[in-house]
Structure 1
Amino acid sequence: MNIENLRDYCLCKKAVTEELPFGPDTLVFKVMGKVFALTGLDKVPLSVNVKCDPEKAVKLREAYEDNILPGYHMNKKHWNTVILDGRLAPKLILTMIDDSYDLVVRGLTKKQQKEIKDFDE
């Protein structure tokens, strides 16, 4: 997965914005103002931080120890850094992005969740 694929996939989700709040080298994807993914634009190989259920985060790190690490500069209990060097199946990467988005949406208020549901309808 490259940066264009990552960006397109994140932006296709409802109510998502992209920002550069940490400077020009860190692209952040938010849903209703809450971060669900971020990536360093200057990193080689490309990596993305995604939110994850704590138990699942540990299991993923154990299963893919070279490519899924505790979240860099993030709460390591709730975030993973995923190295996108071609060794992980694209479906797994997309599932982790989906899970991150869904976790953030579940943490929003009911009003915000309804706004997302009604987004673009």
Structure 2
Amino acid sequence: MPARLRPADPAAVADALSRDGEERTDVDRRLLAKHFLALLAQRAPGASVEVRVPPFSAVQAVPGVRHTRGTPPAVVETDADTWIAVATGALTWADAVGSGRVRASGERTDLTPYLPLGSPA
């Protein structure tokens, strides 16, 4: 089961968001990916969808049937930069999925109702 995450310190998030694109380090990406995954889990409590941002972390979120063992029936997977972009509203969910930057399979994987999770500093 994915780890329970907590949102990061707002100052650390603002600092990491202040660096864009190639200036953002892996430490920034890890902090922001985990932060926005934690916010998603708070905004959409549940365990019907596993949202993965490898290699940094994953959470189970979205109300519905609880998943407990094996391969989850609903999975969302993306890279950290894409997750940060959709979480901040810099990229829409539909555009991310349509372009293949987000892979989403199973019921309840449309995260549009929960996004954006925050805004760029």
Structure having the higher strand fraction is 1
User: TM-score scaled by structure 1?
Assistant: 0.29
